[in-house]
Amino acid sequence: ASSGVPGAPVGGREAPEDAAPDGTVEGHDRRRGVAHWVGRVAFAEEECSVCFEVMGGDMPTRRLACGHGFHHACIHRWLQQRASCPLCNAEAPAAPAPAPAFKVDLGHQEMSQIMTELEDIFLAIHQCAGPDRPIALSGLACNLCVSLGYEDEDELEEAIGGSLADFLSALPHFDVHWPEALGTSSDSGNADVAQDDAAEAAPEPEVRATMRPEADPEELARRPGVRIAFTVAERDDLWRVVLQGPCANIEIPELEFVIRPRDRRRVDTIYNMIASAVFHLGDHVQKSSRAGSISDEEVSLICNTIDQLNLLLDLEQPFTVVVTDSQGVSELKPATGSHIGALP
């Protein structure tokens, strides 16, 4: 049975001790961390006028130009529909739109084939030259096009939703290496000409990438465990990519629901992991009902869980995701705003 009910205030359930000793969280500088705790005090007795819950916890807040404060997730949804304050109707100037973040969609078969081929290419390089040998993205793209039947690199980029560099940068187990700028300025005109000639003669530096291999048993035995916690407050948070280690559990405390590990590491978005759980639960109910191996009470409980998971995908309320990994190999990308600490 679930102790968390969708619709209840769920943001910021993580204890403050999960933060770094100076009050900051990963991806934020010290000033942001101090502002976070000051903001908790400032909103201590104030209610959000959208959800009517008292502010001042760990859930992010936002104050409009008119002076009224709200939970960030609540006012963000409100302002997407109305450009005014819910209390005084004062016009809320729109913030400059940030550059759209690259979203990885790993939920379809074509992307699964691309991921498998990518990892196979890097594993072959690891066997020949070791895991630290970087691969030029131009050669990698050409190899993928030939192996998977894409006409050219443009067609490959259309399939992955962007450039290969952006795609690999969004995955936790890949590292993209950008070339350093070549050459330095000189006061001598002759030196400038010589430098230009050298630059023309030299091959243009390429963007390269490496893939981190799965750790061997001896390395895993030495690694400390890790706990990663973060709040899914906006739609973009559902598209964060999680590398789930072979011994890692992914828990949603509000539903007392756990996504169990697989035999190998798993790389997928939060959205796809929840959607996959919905599919497998529904498939289990269907097959077990046909076989007569499940009671009506169990069917009701599982169907209720499916409904609650679907509400998470609709993001009707923020919810918490906690990754606990005794082997310490799990990662979250991007990790901004997450609380990362050692297992007790």
Kindly report, residue by residue over 13-47, the tens digit of the pLDDT. 333 333 333 433 343 343 334 333 333 334 445 67
Residue 210 has pLDDT above 90, yes or no: yes
Q: Which residue has the higher pLDDT, 261 or 23?
A: 261
- Residue the block writes with tokens 């948070």: 237
pLDDT at 50 over 90: no
How far is 118 from 164, CA to CA, in rounded Å?
Answer: 11
Look at the pTM and tell me if it is higher than 0.85: no
Domain ranges of the chain: 109-169+174-211, 223-342
SS (H, E, C) 248-302: EEEEEHHHCEEECCCCCCEEEEHHHHHHHHHHHHHHHHHHHHHHCCCCHHHHHHH
CA distance 207 to 180: 10
Task: Mean pLDDT check: name the lowest of 139-143, 158-162, 254-258.
Answer: 158-162
Least confident of 65-69, 127-131, 165-169: 65-69
Q: In this model, does residue 252 exceed pLDDT 90?
A: yes
What is the fold of 223-342? Jelly Rolls (2.60.120)
Q: Which residue has the higher pLDDT, 76 or 113?
A: 113
Sheet containing 241-244: order of strands: 266-269, 241-244, 331-333
For residue range 169-204, what is the model confidence (pLDDT) as tens digits? 989 999 998 876 333 333 444 444 445 554 454 555
Whether pLDDT at 339 is above 50: yes
- Give the model's pLDDT for residue 9: 35
Quick check: helix, strand or coil at residue 135? strand
Cα-based distances in Å from 64 to 36, 61, 92, 95: 17, 10, 7, 11
State both tokens at 16.
């403050």
Q: Are 168 and 191 in contact (CB under 8 A)?
A: no
